[in-house]
Amino acid sequence: MAAPPFAALFDMDGVLIANTNFHINAWLQFAHKYDRPLTLEQYVENINGRVSADSMAYVFQRPISPGELIVLTEEKEAIYRELYRPHLQTAPGLLDFLDTLQAKNVRLAVGTSAPESNVRFTLDGLSLRPYFDAIVDASMIHHGKPDPEIYLTAAERVDVSPDQCVVFEDAFAGIEAGLRAGMVVIALTTTHTRDELATTGATLIVDDFTQLNVATIQELLP
């Protein structure tokens, strides 16, 4: 069967899994330990969906050395994994949707700001890795979302031109990254409300993967 000429690029946190509240609680706990002020509003605007290098520099309000970044990131992500582990599950409708796309030979990739340790925790913990032709995480790029590099790299890895890629995102930074990459962006209401997402320029807003099928997506592509 010939492959459809498009690719589906999935954000991980807040898209493959609905885990935003667990990241929020982990960041608040982590910031509190270091006596750094952090509010929910600051998390949403400056941390959600971004790579740890940018989030840590924001939390500590100073540049973070590469060595320090590894240690601080793993400390924060260990808190997150501990909190979320008992709840680890795929987002509603995801597995059926991935099966449908795979059956149609759509190229599938993950583009996440998360470190490799969290990619392992999620994709291996839920046996999702075999679905994807490429996985791009924070360690593989120079500029985190909202820069388009993560999604442009994922498109390159699956050998599909950006205008034939559909990005699935929940975070403002990730939606901006997809749009700046010249891709169609479908926003999920995992983290933000429809009204909040309506201001982002996302091509389509859905509540979860049960509201999507291949025909709907193909209609959005040029």
Chain contacts with ligand BG6 (rule: CB under 6 A): 11-14, 23, 27, 47-49, 52, 112-114, 118, 171, 174
Q: Which is nearer to ligand BG6, 7 or 18 (CB)?
A: 18
Q: Which is nearer to ligand BG6, 23 or 157 (CB)?
A: 23
Using the Cα atoms of residue 95, residue 101, residue 103 and residue 106 in order, give the sign of their dihedral: negative
Kindly state the smallest distance separating residue 60's Cβ from ligand BG6, in Å.
15
Q: Tell me the closest approach of the beta carbon of residue 33 to ligand BG6, in angstroms.
A: 15
Q: Shortest CA distance to 105 belongs to which of 6, 171, 182, 205?
A: 6
Contact residues for 65 (Cβ-Cβ < 8 A; gap 6+) = none
Give the CA dihedral 148, 40, 25, 71, nearest 10 degrees.
50
Question: What is the closest distance, in whole angstroms, from the C-beta atom of residue 137 to ligand BG6 in the complex?
Answer: 8
CB of 170 to ligand BG6, least distance (A): 7
DSSP letters along 29-65, please?
Answer: HHHHHTT----HHHHHHHTTT--HHHHHHHHHTS---
Between residues 69 and 214, which has the closer beta carbon with respect to ligand BG6? 69
* Closer residue to ligand BG6 (CB): 38 or 184: 38
- Single-letter amino acid, residue 31: A
